[in-house]
Amino acid sequence: MPASSQSAPSTAPLYSDAVRRQKTDIPAIYGGIDFDAVPERFATSPDAATELPARLADTRQRLLADDGKLALIRNYTMTGDRVADAYAALIPEYGFRALVDMLETACDHGIEAVETPPAELVAFIRAMEDTPDWVNMEMVERGARQERNLMANVSPYAIRGAFIATFMNKYSALPMMMTGTLSDTTSAKRVLETASFFTATTLPGALGRFGGGFKAAAKVRLMHSMVRFNIMRSGKWDQATYGIPIPQVDQMPAGLIGVFLMSFRILQEGRTSFTEPERCMVELSRYRCFLLGLPQDLLADTPQAIADLMLMRNATLRSEYDDATCGELVRGTMVADLSKDVSPLGRLRDWMERGFSRVYFIQNFCEGRIERAEAMGVRLTLNDKIAAAVTAAIIFPKAAAYKALLRLPVAGAIADRMLVRKVERLLDSYGHADFITDSSQYKPVMAKAA
Residue 128 lies in a domain: no
Written as one letter, the residue type at 397 is P
In a domain, 162, yes or no: yes
Evaluate whether residue 166 is within a structural domain: yes
Alpha-carbon distance of 59 to 266, in angstroms, equals: 17
Residue 166's alpha-carbon distances to 163, 262, 418, 437, 447, in angstroms, are 6, 19, 32, 17, 22
Considering the domain boundaries, does residue 328 fall inside one? yes
pLDDT tens for 24-49 read: 999 999 999 999 999 999 999 999 99
Q: Domain range spanning residue 349?
A: 137-205+229-441
Integer Cα distance of 400 and 397 in angstroms: 5
pLDDT in tens, 385-431: 999 999 999 999 999 999 999 999 999 999 999 999 999 999 998 87
Q: What is the DSSP string of 363-380?
A: HHHSTT-HHHHHHTT---
The per-residue pLDDT for range 413-422, each reduced to its tens digit, is 999 999 999 9
336 lies in a domain?
A: yes
**SS3 state of residue 35:** coil
Residue 390 lies in a domain: yes
How does pLDDT run across 133-147, given as a tens digit for each residue? 999 999 999 999 999
Query: For residue 160, is it within any domain?
Result: yes
Report pLDDT digits (tens) over 159-207: 888 887 778 888 988 887 777 655 556 777 888 888 899 999 999 999 9
Q: Is residue 34 part of a domain?
A: no
The pTM assigned to this predicted structure is 0.89
Instruction: Say what the pLDDT of residue 185 is.
Output: 64
> What's the domain count of the chain?
1
* Residue 166: closest CA among 225, 80, 247, 253: 253
With 0-12 CB in 10 A as exposed, 13-18 as middle and 19+ as buried, what is 226? buried
pLDDT of the residue at 1: 43
